[in-house]
């Protein structure tokens, strides 16, 4: 369903797969997100950190895509965490209650250290 070019590079740090989410997360990001999760899963990482630092636009379809990744991870026995959310996106996570399903950290280092989410 891709219409807009988007990339979600996957990095590996301390056993965690870090997915740098694209600036725009809507229907056009479906393939990108699914491929990024598949790459992270293929690497065998037990934790996948979604880095929202670059995100500028998140639609409800984008939220549905993130929910899809959460569902897959849950089935696969993987943990999804998130970092780099602006206040606006924290608010969205509050409305959609996505925060119920994943720990949210202020930044990548805090996420990699684990512990209490913010």
Partner 1 sequence: MTRDDSNWAKPVKTLELSDRDGAINANVRGRRLNAANGGFGRLSQKTFSVRIGREVTPQTVITTWKARFGDFWPKGQRMFLPATGIAPGEVGVINASIPGAPTMATGVLVIYADDVSFSFMSPEGHPFAGPLTFSAQSDESGITVAQVQELTRASDPFWELAMMVPVLGERMQNDIWRATLRNLAKHFGVDATVESKIVVVDSRRQWRNAKNIWQNAAIRSGLSAPLRLIRRS
Residue 13 Cβ vs partner 1, minimum distance, rounded to whole Å: 27
CB of 52 or CB of 105, closer to partner 1: 52
Residue 27 is a binding residue for partner 1 (CB under 8 A): yes
CB of 61 or CB of 79, closer to partner 1: 61
Query: Do residues 3 and 98 make contact, with C-beta atoms less than 8 angstroms apart?
Result: no
Return the SS3 of 54.
Answer: coil
Q: How far apart are CA 16 and CA 49, in angstroms?
A: 7
Residue 61 is a binding residue for partner 1 (CB under 8 A): yes
Q: How far apart are CA 92 and CA 13, in angstroms?
A: 27
Query: Interacting stretch for partner 1, rule CB under 8 A, among 6-14, 39-47, 82-90, 105-113?
Result: 82-90
Query: Interacting stretch for partner 1, rule CB under 8 A, among 7-15, 40-48, 65-73, 107-115?
Result: 65-73
Helix or strand holding residue 90 (H, E): helix 87-96
């Amino acid at each position: 369903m891709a219409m807009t070019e988007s990339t979600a590079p996957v990095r590996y740090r301390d056993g965690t797969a870090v997915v740098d989410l694209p600036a725009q997360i809507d229907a056009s990001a479906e393939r990108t997100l699914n491929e990024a999760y598949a790459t992270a899963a293929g690497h065998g990482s037990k934790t996948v950190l979604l880095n929202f630092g670059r995100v500028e636009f998140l639609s409800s379809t984008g939220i549905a895509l993130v929910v899809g990744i959460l569902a897959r991870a849950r089935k696969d026995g993987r943990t999804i965490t998130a970092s780099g959310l602006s206040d606006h996106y924290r608010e969205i996570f509050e409305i959609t209650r996505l925060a119920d399903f994943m720990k949210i950290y202020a930044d990548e280092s805090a996420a990699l250290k684990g512990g209490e989410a913010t």
